[in-house]
């Protein structure tokens, strides 16, 4: 079919026109239905592709390609159970279908079944060794099992096969952030190398910006993210967007995500203008930002999935910043500022690891408490007589030094136990049991919970007395969920911002005495806090009141602080000054003065 050749040459527009012409002549053209679905999905609309694949399958039931494509589209649309059925049917029809095995691995990985996902990926690679993207999937599955070193090696295999894939270089950087043996300096240099490879060749094409240099006018501020759905980023960004004054800020949003849900609709209602850009090239995104006249463009992804850092690397806006989505540097010279606060970026600790200048708000977090949260329950240890420690962080964060420290805590308190969430995969549970056993902790003292629906996950906090944090990548969203559910966190501030997220969450609630400076102090703190159950019970009972009374979690203060920081950035650009570290004082925003 001629349209297939156009797709192979990446001439998507021509291929789409040919497919639609073929379907006008014959609405039951099976291959045209399937191919048009592929084109529509490639343009970023998986939902619109689904009926096209279904039409092809209604015309030809034995069509493994369409089944595989339908499975991928259903997975993108957030319907994993249906995706699994389709992919297994595709494999039943064609057992040597490498792409179907790879897609099945991707669905299982997102279902937090990394062991089974790994088996599928390896089967795909055995069938078709040249599939570079399968190495990335293998890396994801290994990382989800806490095997970060192996995940890094697998990602590097993918990059060796396809070195121009910027997204895979970003995935490598994200893995490096989790590796305890990679120093902050080494990690920063790897991020700077990303910029040398991908940003430096684009610098010659940077163009001047014609934005009106009035320092006090209403600003056009754009936000770019692939996570504007029921995702942790939404918990942080939604309350700030709700509180941003529209009299001084015209809010534009560039959504690069593939998932759309009720949270997406809420966020869309807050934007002055909303653009879905996932189907656009970086060049098209740049032209859109420039035509919108954006003054300040804010990245909310960093080196996480579905970022548009290569659009930022083309400098579409005169001032650019990064915030929320990633604790490390982007490495890009085109991004001028990192939006942060003294809690997650204490002065003088981390600046040398960042290309960006630090724009510190009084507080940079206005986490939205989950609407589905049940009431806080009384301290469970007072009822059971057993102190339960917990961790609901991703298993990828459960590195050997963390398990060794947790085991020291459990040894010091023989009547305690450990509950670990997001651990439903049998292989992962067995691996964790072996690691704890190597530290002398019996399996009977461990409890595992699989991935749960969100209300059930929140209710699982009713079993936990104290959370134990991970490192070097500490908990962010999970820490805030735990605190809202009344469960305090023993955490460890370390040499990077990723190592500071838990400490920041505790400090914003005035609980600095739960923050350790090293591993030995972490163990001592956990043991000491666990031995005063009445103090724990009082803290738990008053945690939500403490949260609601904290100025550092007040969405108005965070929004006004952001407004003030954006204005300072803008004034510097209007004056022809380079980016510089900025500090916004609490007194200036407490009463609404930017």
Could you tell me the pLDDT band of residue 592, with boundaries at 50, 70 and 90?
A: low
Exposed, middle or buried by CB within 10 Å (0-12, 13-18, 19+), for 78? middle
Q: CA-to-CA distance for 115 and 431, rounded, in angstroms?
A: 11
**pLDDT value of position 260:** 82
Residue 10 has pLDDT above 60, yes or no: no
Radius of gyration of the chain (CA): 25
Across the range 418-422, mean pLDDT stands at 94
Q: Which residues contact 152 (CB under 8 A, 6 or more apart)?
A: 139, 172, 175, 176, 179
The secondary structure element, H or E, covering residue 106 is helix 98-110
Q: CA-to-CA distance for 523 and 108, rounded, in angstroms?
A: 35
Sequence-ordered strand ranges (E) for 514-587: 515-516, 582-583
Say if residues 141 and 114 touch (Cβ distance below 8 Å).
yes
* Mean predicted lDDT score pLDDT of the chain: 92
Q: Nearest-CA neighbor of 281 among 308, 252, 313?
A: 308
Q: CA-to-CA distance for 384 and 390, rounded, in angstroms?
A: 15
Could you tell me the pLDDT band of residue 277, with boundaries at 50, 70 and 90?
A: very high
pLDDT digits (tens, 9 = 90+) for 53-104: 999 899 898 999 999 999 999 988 888 899 999 999 999 999 999 999 999 9
**pLDDT value of position 7:** 45
For the chain, counts of helices (H) and of strands (E): 26, 14
**pLDDT value of position 292:** 98
Q: Nearest-CA neighbor of 344 among 491, 520, 548?
A: 491
Of the listed ranges 144-158, 291-305, 456-470, 556-570, the one predicted with least confidence:
144-158
pLDDT digits (tens, 9 = 90+) for 232-245: 899 899 999 999 99
The residues with which 219 forms a beta bridge, in sequence order, are 249
pLDDT digits (tens, 9 = 90+) for 498-534: 889 999 999 999 999 999 999 999 999 999 999 999 9
Say if residues 286 and 52 touch (Cβ distance below 8 Å).
no
Say if residues 536 and 381 touch (Cβ distance below 8 Å).
yes
According to DSSP, the β-strands at 357-360 and 337-340 are parallel
Could you tell me the pLDDT band of residue 372, with boundaries at 50, 70 and 90?
A: confident
In the numeric block, which tokens belong to residue 380? Answer: 């469970």
In the numeric block, which tokens belong to residue 24? Answer: 């006008």
Across the range 451-455, mean pLDDT stands at 88
Across the range 300-329, mean pLDDT stands at 96
Residue 33 has pLDDT above 80, yes or no: yes
DSSP letter at 379? Answer: P
Could you tell me the pLDDT band of residue 111, with boundaries at 50, 70 and 90?
A: confident
**pLDDT value of position 593:** 45
Across the range 40-49, mean pLDDT stands at 83
Residue 3 has pLDDT above 80, yes or no: no
**pLDDT value of position 395:** 83
DSSP letter at 397? Answer: G
Torsions phi, psi for 187 (to 5 deg): -65, -45
Q: Nearest-CA neighbor of 172 among 352, 305, 299?
A: 305
């Amino acid at each position: 079919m001629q349209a297939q050749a156009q797709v192979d040459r990446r001439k998507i527009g021509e291929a789409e026109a040919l497919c639609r012409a073929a379907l006008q002549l014959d609405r039951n053209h099976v291959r045209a239905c399937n191919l048009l679905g592929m084109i529509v999905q490639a343009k970023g609309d998986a939902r619109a592709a689904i009926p096209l694949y279904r039409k092809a399958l209604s015309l030809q039931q034995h069509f493994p390609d369409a089944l595989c494509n339908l499975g991928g589209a259903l997975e993108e649309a957030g319907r994993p159970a249906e995706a699994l059925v389709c992919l297994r049917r595709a494999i039943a029809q064609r057992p040597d279908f490498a792409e179907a095995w790879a897609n099945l691995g991707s669905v299982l990985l997102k279902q937090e079944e990394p062991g089974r996902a790994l088996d599928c990926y390896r089967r795909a690679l055995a069938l078709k060794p040249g599939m570079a993207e399968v190495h990335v999937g293998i890396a994801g599955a290994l990382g989800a099992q806490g095997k970060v070193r192996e995940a890094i090696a697998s990602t590097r295999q993918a990059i060796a096969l396809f070195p121009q894939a910027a997204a895979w270089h970003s995935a490598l950087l994200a893995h490096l952030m989790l590796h305890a043996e990679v120093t902050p300096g080494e990690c920063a240099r790897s991020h700077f190398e990303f910029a040398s490879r991908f940003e430096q060749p684009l610098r010659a094409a940077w163009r001047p910006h014609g934005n009106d240099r009035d320092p006090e006018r209403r600003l056009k501020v754009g936000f770019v993210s692939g996570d504007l759905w029921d995702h942790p980023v939404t918990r942080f960004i939604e309350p700030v967007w709700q509180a941003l004054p529209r009299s001084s800020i015209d809010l534009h949003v560039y959504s690069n995500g593939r998932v759309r849900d009720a949270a997406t609709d809420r966020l869309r209602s807050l934007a002055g203008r909303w653009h879905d850009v996932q189907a656009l090239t970086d060049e098209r995104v740049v032209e859109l930002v420039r035509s919108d006249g954006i003054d300040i463009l804010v990245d909310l992804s960093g080196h996480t999935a579905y970022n548009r850092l290569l659009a930022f690397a083309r400098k579409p806006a005169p001032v650019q910043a990064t915030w929320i989505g990633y604790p490390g540097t982007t490495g890009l010279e085109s991004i001028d500022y990192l939006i942060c606060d003294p809690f997650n970026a204490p002065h003088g600790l981390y600046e040398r690891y960042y290309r960006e200048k630090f724009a510190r708000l009084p507080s940079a977090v206005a986490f939205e408490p989950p609407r589905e949260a049940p009431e806080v329950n009384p301290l469970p240890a007072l009822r059971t007589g057993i102190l339960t420690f917990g961790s609901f962080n991703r298993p990828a964060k459960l590195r050997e030094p963390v398990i060794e420290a947790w085991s020291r805590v459990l040894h010091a308190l023989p009547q305690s136990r450990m509950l670990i969430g997001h651990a439903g995969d049998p292989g992962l549970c067995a691996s964790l049991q072996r690691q704890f056993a190597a530290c002398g902790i019996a399996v009977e003292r461990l409890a595992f919970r699989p991935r749960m629906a969100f209300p059930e996950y929140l209710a699982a906090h009713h079993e936990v007395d104290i959370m134990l944090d991970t490192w070097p990548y500490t908990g962010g969203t999970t820490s805030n969920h735990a605190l809202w559910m009344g469960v305090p966190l023993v955490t460890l501030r370390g040499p990077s911002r990723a190592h500071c997220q838990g400490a920041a969450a505790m400090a914003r609630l005035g609980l600095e005495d739960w923050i350790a400076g090293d591993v030995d102090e972490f163990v001592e703190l956990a043991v000491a806090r666990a031995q005063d159950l009445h103090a724990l019970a009082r803290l738990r009972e008053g945690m939500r009141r403490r949260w609601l009374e904290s100025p550092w979690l007040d969405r108005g203060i965070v929004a006004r602080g952001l407004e003030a920081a954006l204005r300072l950035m803008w004034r510097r650009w209007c004056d022809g000054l380079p980016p510089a570290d900025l500090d916004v004082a609490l007194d200036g925003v407490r009463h609404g003065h930017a």
